[in-house]
Every structure is written in structure tokens, then in C-alpha cells.
Amino acid sequence: MSFLSEFVRSPLTVGAVAPSSAALARVVTAPIPRTGDPVVVELGAGTGAFTGLIQRRLGGRGHHIAVEVNERFAMRLAARYPGVDVALADARDLEAVLASRDLPPADVIVSGLPWAAFAERQQRDVLTAAVGALAADGAFTTFAYVHARWAPPARRLRRALESRFDEMVIGRTVWGNLPPALVYHCRRPAPILVPGAA
């Protein structure tokens, strides 16, 4: 089983032909605190391009959950990273995954999900689940490929991130990834404004 063979099997779920690079992993995992016992959620962990670095940054502290919908990837992750709590689940069900483990909201969510391959509804549902599972002062990072930056799904994601977080900053292009990528650094989920409410 390889990343490429899983892409061929399910292109819209895997969403990339190769795993992310170490350079991209360094940028997306930057918000993980070096002290304390944070709850860190990894969405769409795949073959573990970010997993090893998250484990190193945690150094045995906190709780690291990797949510992966592909069973073969999930089994491989669990075998390779015994310190990671691997949940074979859809990211849409993140709040239920945390509740089933009696865990508080996540301090950091690192997403490797293929947002550009998601339909509009799926994109909205997954983002709602992530925002709902994040602590009030939590951080959320995700990435988009530079070449697809102006395509409708990427623009939709960017608008959604801007409206669902108090702060959204786009990092510098990570050229050391194939294809080059941009990282969205989001902080503090914003309350949903109800029109007409005081």
C-alpha cells in the first residue's frame, strides 16, 4: 500500500499524489506549544507526513489524536506511531470523537484534509466540526496548493476561514513541497453572528 495507490483508488478523498514534505510539516505544526499538556488533533493524517513531527514536538505530553477516514492509512498510522490515538473516523464527526474520549476541546488542530476536493457542503460541515471542537483560544492550521489558490474551492475555503476565525494569516509560500503550498494560520474561533441579534 502506497500513498499513490490510495490516490488512484480514491482521488477525491486522498486529494494529493504524494505526502507533504518535512518543510510543510514544520510550518503547519508550528502552533503546537512546547510546554503543557495540549490536546492536538490531526485531521487527514494519511501516511503520517505531519504525525512524526507532532509527536516530537509533544515529546510525550498531552494527547495527540489523528483522525483518518481511510482504513488502510489508519491501520498503518496506528502501527507506526503507537503513541498516537488514531481514530478511524470522518473529520465531520470530530466533536463526537473528542467526546467519546472525554477530552476537552482541542488546543491545536492541524489539518491535512484535501479541502479543494471537497464539495461545498462537505467543506462547510468539516469546518463547522473543527471550529466546534476547538478551544476558545485554540489554533487551527491548514494548507492549500499555490497553483490552485484562485480556484473556486480554495477561494471558498479562504473566505470561510476568514469568517470563522478571529484571526487568519497566510504564511509565506512553502516552495519545498510538491506542489508548493500556502499555510493558513487561524486563531480563536469566532462566534457565528446571528443577523438581528443584539
Ligand X SMILES: C[S@@+](CC[C@H](N)C(=O)[O-])C[C@H]1O[C@@H](n2cnc3c(N)ncnc32)[C@H](O)[C@@H]1O
Q: Does 40 bind ligand X (CB under 6 A)?
A: no
Smallest separation (angstroms) from ligand X to the CB of 15: 4
Please give the Cα distance from 131 to 119 (Å, whole number): 18
Please give the Cα distance from 85 to 64 (Å, whole number): 6
Smallest separation (angstroms) from ligand X to the CB of 196: 33
- 106: closest CA among 163, 3, 189, 18? 189
Q: Does 87 bind ligand X (CB under 6 A)?
A: no
Q: Which is nearer to ligand X, 73 or 165 (CB)?
A: 73
Scan residues 44-83 and list those touching ligand X (CB under 6 A).
Answer: 44-46, 49-50, 67-70, 73
Q: Does 113 bind ligand X (CB under 6 A)?
A: yes
Q: In what order do the strands lie in the sheet with 39-43?
A: 85-88, 63-68, 39-43, 106-111, 134-145, 181-189, 165-170
Q: Decide: helix, strand or coil at residue 197.
A: coil
Q: Which is nearer to ligand X, 39 or 66 (CB)?
A: 66
Binding mask 2-31 for ligand X (x = CB under 6 A): -----------xxxx--xx-----------
Measured from each CB, the residue nearest to ligand X is 112
Q: Does 85 bind ligand X (CB under 6 A)?
A: no
Q: Residue 163, Cα to own-chain centre: how many angstroms?
A: 18
Please give the Cα distance from 49 to 75 (Å, whole number): 15
Q: Which is nearer to ligand X, 1 or 137 (CB)?
A: 1
